Amino acid sequence: GAGVSQSPSNKVTEKGKDVELRCDPISGHTALYWYRQSLGQGLEFLIYFQGNSAPDKSGLPSDRFSAERTGGSVSTLTIQRTQQEDSAVYLCASSFLLAVQETQYFGPGTRLLVL
Amino acid sequence: DQQVKQNSPSLSVQEGRISILNCDYTNSMFDYFLWYKKYPAEGPTFLISISSIKDKNEDGRFTVFLNKSAKHLSLHIVPSQPGDSAVYFCAARSGGGADGLTFGKGTHLIIQP
Protein backbone atom coordinates (compact mmCIF):
# COMPACT_ATOMS: atom_id res chain seq x y z
CA GLY A 1 0.00 0.00 0.00
CA ALA A 2 0.98 3.64 -0.30
CA GLY A 3 3.21 5.10 2.35
CA VAL A 4 3.37 8.64 3.69
CA SER A 5 3.83 11.14 0.88
CA GLN A 6 5.03 14.73 1.11
CA SER A 7 5.10 17.58 -1.35
CA PRO A 8 6.99 19.35 -2.65
CA SER A 9 10.09 17.20 -2.34
CA ASN A 10 12.26 20.31 -2.62
CA LYS A 11 11.49 23.97 -2.12
CA VAL A 12 13.74 26.97 -2.59
CA THR A 13 12.34 30.28 -1.44
CA GLU A 14 13.47 33.79 -0.68
CA LYS A 15 13.72 35.10 2.83
CA GLY A 16 10.44 36.69 3.88
CA LYS A 17 8.21 34.58 1.66
CA ASP A 18 5.59 32.16 2.98
CA VAL A 19 5.78 28.43 2.23
CA GLU A 20 3.30 25.61 2.60
CA LEU A 21 4.34 21.99 3.01
CA ARG A 22 1.94 19.14 2.53
CA CYS A 23 1.71 15.67 4.05
CA ASP A 24 -0.51 12.78 3.01
CA PRO A 25 -0.49 10.15 5.76
CA ILE A 26 -1.10 6.46 5.33
CA SER A 27 -4.81 5.86 4.83
CA GLY A 28 -6.55 5.09 8.12
CA HIS A 29 -3.80 6.49 10.32
CA THR A 30 -5.30 8.74 12.97
CA ALA A 31 -2.10 10.25 14.33
CA LEU A 32 0.16 12.54 12.31
CA TYR A 33 3.47 14.11 13.33
CA TRP A 34 5.73 16.83 11.93
CA TYR A 35 9.48 16.83 12.53
CA ARG A 36 12.35 18.97 11.31
CA GLN A 37 15.94 17.93 10.67
CA SER A 38 18.43 20.74 10.39
CA LEU A 39 21.89 20.12 8.96
CA GLY A 40 23.93 17.84 11.21
CA GLN A 41 21.15 17.49 13.74
CA GLY A 42 18.73 14.81 14.76
CA LEU A 43 15.04 15.03 14.09
CA GLU A 44 13.27 17.70 16.12
CA PHE A 45 9.62 17.06 16.99
CA LEU A 46 7.34 19.97 16.07
CA ILE A 47 3.68 19.03 16.46
CA TYR A 48 1.28 16.10 16.37
CA PHE A 49 -2.35 15.67 15.38
CA GLN A 50 -4.86 13.25 16.79
CA GLY A 51 -7.55 13.35 14.15
CA ASN A 52 -7.87 17.03 13.23
CA SER A 53 -6.85 18.27 16.65
CA ALA A 54 -3.40 19.51 17.66
CA PRO A 55 -3.58 19.80 21.46
CA ASP A 56 -0.01 21.00 21.99
CA LYS A 57 1.66 23.55 19.73
CA SER A 58 4.56 24.33 22.05
CA GLY A 59 7.04 22.42 19.88
CA LEU A 60 6.65 24.81 16.97
CA PRO A 61 9.84 26.94 16.74
CA SER A 62 8.06 30.29 16.53
CA ASP A 63 4.67 31.87 15.86
CA ARG A 64 5.59 32.01 12.17
CA PHE A 65 4.91 28.27 12.08
CA SER A 66 1.41 26.86 11.95
CA ALA A 67 -0.10 23.52 11.01
CA GLU A 68 -3.53 22.21 10.27
CA ARG A 69 -5.16 18.96 9.38
CA THR A 70 -8.53 18.65 7.73
CA GLY A 71 -10.77 15.64 7.32
CA GLY A 72 -8.46 13.57 9.51
CA SER A 73 -6.13 13.09 6.58
CA VAL A 74 -3.94 15.65 4.78
CA SER A 75 -1.92 18.08 6.85
CA THR A 76 -0.18 21.30 5.89
CA LEU A 77 2.68 22.99 7.69
CA THR A 78 2.89 26.69 6.90
CA ILE A 79 5.91 28.87 7.56
CA GLN A 80 5.30 32.61 7.26
CA ARG A 81 8.00 35.17 6.55
CA THR A 82 10.65 32.48 6.17
CA GLN A 83 14.10 33.00 7.63
CA GLN A 84 17.39 31.36 6.65
CA GLU A 85 17.39 29.34 9.87
CA ASP A 86 14.18 27.67 8.69
CA SER A 87 16.24 25.79 6.08
CA ALA A 88 15.92 22.11 6.94
CA VAL A 89 14.28 18.86 5.92
CA TYR A 90 10.71 18.76 7.15
CA LEU A 91 9.48 15.23 7.79
CA CYS A 92 5.98 13.99 8.34
CA ALA A 93 5.08 10.70 10.01
CA SER A 94 1.83 8.91 10.74
CA SER A 95 0.74 6.08 12.98
CA PHE A 96 -2.45 4.08 13.26
CA LEU A 97 -3.09 5.25 16.81
CA LEU A 98 -1.64 7.80 19.15
CA ALA A 99 0.07 5.43 21.54
CA VAL A 100 3.56 4.85 22.86
CA GLN A 101 4.14 1.56 21.07
CA GLU A 102 2.64 2.57 17.75
CA THR A 103 5.21 2.64 14.99
CA GLN A 104 5.56 5.97 13.23
CA TYR A 105 6.00 5.71 9.46
CA PHE A 106 7.88 8.57 7.87
CA GLY A 107 7.55 10.26 4.52
CA PRO A 108 10.58 11.19 2.38
CA GLY A 109 10.57 14.78 3.60
CA THR A 110 10.52 18.24 2.04
CA ARG A 111 13.92 19.89 1.69
CA LEU A 112 13.45 23.60 2.30
CA LEU A 113 16.15 26.10 1.42
CA VAL A 114 15.64 29.73 2.33
CA LEU A 115 17.95 32.08 0.48
CA ASP B 1 20.09 20.00 26.42
CA GLN B 2 20.12 16.83 24.36
CA GLN B 3 18.04 14.11 25.96
CA VAL B 4 19.12 11.38 23.52
CA LYS B 5 22.79 11.19 22.63
CA GLN B 6 24.61 9.23 20.00
CA ASN B 7 28.23 10.06 20.59
CA SER B 8 29.66 8.37 17.52
CA PRO B 9 28.89 10.35 14.36
CA SER B 10 30.23 7.49 12.25
CA LEU B 11 31.24 3.85 12.52
CA SER B 12 33.05 1.66 10.02
CA VAL B 13 32.67 -2.13 10.20
CA GLN B 14 33.82 -4.93 7.96
CA GLU B 15 31.19 -6.98 6.18
CA GLY B 16 30.28 -10.08 8.16
CA ARG B 17 31.36 -8.61 11.47
CA ILE B 18 29.16 -7.29 14.27
CA SER B 19 28.10 -3.62 14.23
CA ILE B 20 27.36 -2.08 17.62
CA LEU B 21 25.67 1.31 17.75
CA ASN B 22 25.30 3.05 21.08
CA CYS B 23 22.82 5.50 22.51
CA ASP B 24 22.52 7.24 25.89
CA TYR B 25 19.56 9.11 27.31
CA THR B 26 19.04 11.44 30.23
CA ASN B 27 15.27 11.60 30.68
CA SER B 28 14.14 8.94 33.16
CA MET B 29 10.55 9.35 31.91
CA PHE B 30 11.43 7.64 28.64
CA ASP B 31 9.99 4.14 28.62
CA TYR B 32 9.99 3.15 24.97
CA PHE B 33 12.97 3.17 22.67
CA LEU B 34 13.33 2.75 18.94
CA TRP B 35 15.94 2.54 16.25
CA TYR B 36 15.35 3.99 12.82
CA LYS B 37 17.48 3.58 9.73
CA LYS B 38 17.79 6.31 7.11
CA TYR B 39 19.13 6.23 3.58
CA PRO B 40 19.98 9.50 1.78
CA ALA B 41 16.97 11.38 0.39
CA GLU B 42 14.55 9.04 2.16
CA GLY B 43 12.60 9.26 5.38
CA PRO B 44 13.64 7.20 8.40
CA THR B 45 12.48 3.59 8.42
CA PHE B 46 11.53 1.83 11.65
CA LEU B 47 13.94 -0.97 12.52
CA ILE B 48 13.34 -2.30 16.02
CA SER B 49 12.01 -1.15 19.38
CA ILE B 50 12.14 -2.07 23.04
CA SER B 51 9.96 -1.32 26.01
CA SER B 52 11.54 -0.34 29.29
CA ILE B 53 10.17 -3.49 30.93
CA LYS B 54 12.53 -5.55 28.80
CA ASP B 55 16.30 -5.61 28.50
CA LYS B 56 16.58 -7.26 25.11
CA ASN B 57 14.60 -7.52 21.90
CA GLU B 58 15.70 -9.50 18.88
CA ASP B 59 14.54 -9.45 15.28
CA GLY B 60 16.61 -11.44 12.83
CA ARG B 61 20.06 -9.91 12.55
CA PHE B 62 19.09 -6.98 14.79
CA THR B 63 19.12 -6.99 18.58
CA VAL B 64 18.52 -4.05 20.86
CA PHE B 65 19.78 -4.10 24.44
CA LEU B 66 18.53 -1.75 27.15
CA ASN B 67 20.34 -0.98 30.41
CA LYS B 68 17.93 1.18 32.36
CA SER B 69 20.22 1.79 35.31
CA ALA B 70 22.87 3.16 32.97
CA LYS B 71 20.32 4.88 30.72
CA HIS B 72 22.01 3.21 27.79
CA LEU B 73 20.86 1.20 24.82
CA SER B 74 22.66 -0.41 21.96
CA LEU B 75 21.82 -1.89 18.60
CA HIS B 76 23.71 -4.96 17.45
CA ILE B 77 23.71 -6.01 13.81
CA VAL B 78 25.21 -9.39 13.06
CA PRO B 79 26.39 -10.26 10.53
CA SER B 80 26.75 -6.81 8.99
CA GLN B 81 25.87 -6.55 5.30
CA PRO B 82 26.62 -3.85 2.70
CA GLY B 83 22.93 -2.86 2.62
CA ASP B 84 23.19 -1.95 6.30
CA SER B 85 25.22 1.14 5.37
CA ALA B 86 22.97 4.02 6.43
CA VAL B 87 22.44 6.55 9.20
CA TYR B 88 20.95 5.00 12.33
CA PHE B 89 18.88 7.12 14.69
CA CYS B 90 18.10 6.23 18.26
CA ALA B 91 14.75 7.59 19.47
CA ALA B 92 12.83 7.59 22.73
CA ARG B 93 9.32 8.25 23.90
CA SER B 94 7.64 8.77 27.26
CA GLY B 95 4.53 7.03 28.51
CA GLY B 96 2.12 9.72 27.43
CA GLY B 97 3.00 9.08 23.83
CA ALA B 98 1.88 12.50 22.81
CA ASP B 99 5.20 14.27 22.70
CA GLY B 100 6.45 12.68 19.54
CA LEU B 101 9.79 10.95 19.43
CA THR B 102 13.01 12.44 20.77
CA PHE B 103 15.84 11.57 18.42
CA GLY B 104 19.61 11.44 18.68
CA LYS B 105 21.77 13.01 15.99
CA GLY B 106 22.43 9.69 14.31
CA THR B 107 25.40 7.44 13.60
CA HIS B 108 26.54 6.89 10.04
CA LEU B 109 27.32 3.18 9.69
CA ILE B 110 29.62 2.21 6.84
CA ILE B 111 29.99 -1.47 6.02
CA GLN B 112 33.23 -2.16 4.21
CA PRO B 113 33.53 -5.15 1.86
Give, for all 113 residues of chain B, the pLDDT tens digit: 789 999 999 999 999 999 999 999 999 999 999 999 999 989 999 999 999 999 999 999 999 999 999 999 999 999 999 999 999 999 999 876 566 899 999 999 999 99
Q: What pLDDT is recorded for position B97?
A: 57
Residues in B touching A104 (Cβ below 8 Å):
46, 101
> A100–B45: do the CB atoms touch at under 8 Å?
no
Taking the C-alpha atoms of residue A74 and residue A24, their distance in angstroms, rounded to an integer, is 5
What sign does the CA torsion over B101, A87, A5, A54 have? positive
Taking the C-alpha atoms of residue B97 and residue B90, their distance in angstroms, rounded to an integer, is 16
Q: Which amino acid is at A43?
A: L
Cross-chain CB nearest to A104 (options B6, B99, B101): B101
Taking the C-alpha atoms of residue A100 and residue A43, their distance in angstroms, rounded to an integer, is 18
B interface with A, Cβ–Cβ below 8 Å:
4, 6, 31-32, 34, 36, 41-46, 49, 51, 89, 91, 93-106
Q: What pLDDT is recorded for position A39?
A: 87
B29: closest CA of chain A, how far (Å): 12
